[in-house]
């Protein structure tokens, strides 16, 4: 373990404005001894951390480190084999509507239907979340990802980058305060990356907690309040990103991975 | 209201997808027409009265065509992980299940109407005695079938065997439905009084209700980790 205890409050106070203490969403997200196994394989192996509300966590790690599995545990897509998630002192029930309304997930897969148009996709997901002012949200979402002109085209006609931008609009449609991003920059062209980066920057408003899994050390570190490295299912590094230098981070990453492998 | 909105969204999305792709309707409809053509040439109607065997053929076609169509429901959902996105949303799993049952029922019942038209032409069947009762028997039977096939379609889609597992899982459970459905249809095609079919209809309705309640209750255990 390279760092101090995985606690986002360590040295992270100055990166963003503090979260609103009155909001229910202000409680920190805590993982306590999370384990997820697939057969004999321990994809997530005793992960514990406390992530203060409003922080942006970039989670790095080599392939097969269990980063996506950890993200799926946070989203509720998977149940932990052992351990638990808490919001402040409360046990977090990730399969209940309260949490499902609060999270937005952007994955490798876009979760979109190819034979529906962008608007139809967003309308469908908006109905599932029972959103008010849905048409206004759809217009705003499409505008944010620069897809207004193609909003009535079927998604199967989109490029990979356009699909990913639309997936981001779907992720944020219900205004989640916890955003989980799994390799959001993978396969994107320069324009799509720039749009995505702009939207992600806007998420750093101190109100939203963001967990981003990425292999891109530069972009990940640029946006992070906290940088973490997961290796073989365990959190091998967890530190405020404030004092980290971009130039030195690849070396630190390599050392951490090699020491933990 | 939220529940109804979510239910409606699933139905509308499924039907819109089918309207665009026509994958399942084309498969089921094509199969139904082929069965009609093949049986028309494989049965010597000078020896076997078509009306005597039509009921069984109609129900077998419904079941086989239906399995082909309903089995693909979750295959389409797997496209780019879309179903995972649905499962991360706050839609109650029973609303998701019921939405899929309704959209599958619409497609299967359209095929039922096609089967009646095709068999009517090839076997000169007379639906004139109790056409509405015949439609009702087939509708309730199709509902029971879809209720079971949708649940087991979700089960089979999560396995390595995929939709090929569906018939193995679902056919044994369909025996009571086919027995009461085919017998009721036979009587209607033979022009027997409606009173003779009411018992069959009640049994089909009971089967459909049990399948619906079981499906709505079990669906979340099938689709969630």
pLDDT at A54 exceeding the cut of 50 = yes
Q: Predicted ipTM?
A: 0.92
Structure token digits, residue B224: 């969630």
Chain A residues touching B82 at Cβ < 8 A: 111-113
Tell me if A16 is assigned to some domain: no
Residue for token digits 């990166």?
A15
Mean per-residue pLDDT, A24-29: 76
* A65-74, B131-140, B160-169: least confidently modelled range: B160-169
Tell me if A10 is assigned to some domain: no
Tell me if A11 is assigned to some domain: no
Chain A residues touching B88 at Cβ < 8 A: 75-77, 100, 103, 105, 111
Nearest beta carbon to residue B84 from set A109, A124, A170: A109
Tell me if A62 is assigned to some domain: yes
Tell me if A6 is assigned to some domain: no
Tell me if A232 is assigned to some domain: yes
Per residue, what are the HEC states of chain A? Answer: CCCCCCECCCCCCCCCCCCCCCCHHHCCEEEEEEEEEECCEEEEEEEEEEECCCCEEEEECCCCCCHHHHHHHHHCCCCCCEEEEEECCEECCCCCHHHHHHEEEECCCCCCCCCCEHHHHHHHHHHHCCCCCHHHHHHHHHHHCCCHHHCCCEHHHCCHHHHHHHHHHHHHCCCCCEEEEECCCCCCCHHHHHHHHHHHHHHCCCCCEEEEECCCHHHHHHHCCEEEEEECCEEEEEEECCCCCCCCHHHHHHHHHHHHC
What pLDDT is recorded for position B58?
Answer: 93
What pLDDT is recorded for position A3?
Answer: 52
Structure token digits, residue B51: 């009306």
Structure token digits, residue B32: 């139904």
Order the strands of the A90-91 sheet from edge to edge. A41-51, A29-38, A82-87, A90-91
Contact: B90, A129; criterion CB under 8 Å: yes
Question: Domain range holding A70?
Answer: 24-260
Tell me if A59 is assigned to some domain: yes
Chain A residues touching B14 at Cβ < 8 A: none
Confidence band, pLDDT 50/70/90 cuts, at residue B225: confident
Tally of structural domains, chain A: 1
Confidence band, pLDDT 50/70/90 cuts, at residue A14: very low
For A219-234, the pLDDT digits (tens) are: 899 999 999 999 999 9
Chain A: closest CA distance from residue B129 (Å): 43
Tell me if A165 is assigned to some domain: yes
What pLDDT is recorded for position B77?
Answer: 87
Query: What's this model's pTM, rounded to 2 decimal places?
Result: 0.90
CA-CA distance, A62 to A258, in Å (whole number)? Answer: 10
Contact: A110, B81; criterion CB under 8 Å: yes
| For A98, nearest residue in chain B (alpha carbons) | B90
Task: Find the CATH number of the domain harbouring A225.
Answer: 3.40.50.300
Contact: B81, A128; criterion CB under 8 Å: no
């Amino acid at each position: 373990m390279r760092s101090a205890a995985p606690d986002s409050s360590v040295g992270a106070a100055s990166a963003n404005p503090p979260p609103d203490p009155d909001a229910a969403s202000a409680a920190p997200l805590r993982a306590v001894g999370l384990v997820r196994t697939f057969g004999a394989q321990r994809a997530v192996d005793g992960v514990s951390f406390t992530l203060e509300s409003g922080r942006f966590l970039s989670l790095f790690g080599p392939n097969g480190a269990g980063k996506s599995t950890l993200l799926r545990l946070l989203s509720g897509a998977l149940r932990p084999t052992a351990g638990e998630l808490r919001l402040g002192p409360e046990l977090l029930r990730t399969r209940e509507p309260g949490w499902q309304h609060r999270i937005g997930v952007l994955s490798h897969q876009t979760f979109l239907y190819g034979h529906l148009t962008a608007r139809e996709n967003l309308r469908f997901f908006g109905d599932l979340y029972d959103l008010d002012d849905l048409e206004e949200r759809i217009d705003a979402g499409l505008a944010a990802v620069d897809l207004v002109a193609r909003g009535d085209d079927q998604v199967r006609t989109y490029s990979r980058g356009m699909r990913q931008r639309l997936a981001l609009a779907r992720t944020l449609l219900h205004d989640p305060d916890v955003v989980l991003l799994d390799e959001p920059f993978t396969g994107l062209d320069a324009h799509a990356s720039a749009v995505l980066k702009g939207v992600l920057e806007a998420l750093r408003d101190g109100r939203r907690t963001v967990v981003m899994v990425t292999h891109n050390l530069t972009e990940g570190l640029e946006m992070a309040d906290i940088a973490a490295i997961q290796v073989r299912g365990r959190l091998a590094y967890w530190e405020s990103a404030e004092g980290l230098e971009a130039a030195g981070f690849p070396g630190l990453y390599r050392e951490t991975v090699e020491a933990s492998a | 209201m939220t529940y109804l909105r979510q239910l409606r969204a699933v139905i509308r999305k499924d039907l819109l997808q089918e309207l665009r792709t026509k994958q399942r309707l084309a498969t089921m409809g094509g199969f139904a027409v082929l069965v009609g053509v093949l049986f028309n040439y494989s049965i010597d109607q000078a020896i076997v009265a078509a009306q005597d065997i039509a009921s069984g053929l109609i129900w077998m076609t419904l079941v086989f065509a239906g399995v082909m169509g309903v089995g693909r429901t979750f295959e389409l959902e797997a496209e780019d992980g879309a179903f995972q996105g649905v499962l991360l949303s706050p839609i109650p799993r029973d609303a998701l299940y019921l939405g899929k049952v309704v959209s599958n029922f619409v497609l299967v019942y359209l095929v039922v109407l096609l089967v009646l038209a095709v068999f009517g032409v090839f076997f000169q069947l007379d639906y004139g005695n109790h056409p509405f009762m015949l439609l009702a028997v087939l509708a309730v039977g199709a509902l029971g079938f879809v209720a079971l096939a949708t649940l087991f379609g979700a089960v089979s889609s999560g396995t390595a065997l995929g939709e090929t597992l569906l018939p193995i899982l679902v056919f044994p459970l369909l025996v009571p439905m086919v027995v009461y459905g085919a017998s009721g249809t036979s009587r209607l095609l033979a022009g027997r009084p409606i009173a003779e079919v009411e018992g069959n209809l009640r049994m089909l309705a009971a089967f459909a209700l049990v399948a619906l309640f079981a499906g709505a209750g079990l669906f979340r255990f099938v689709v969630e980790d």
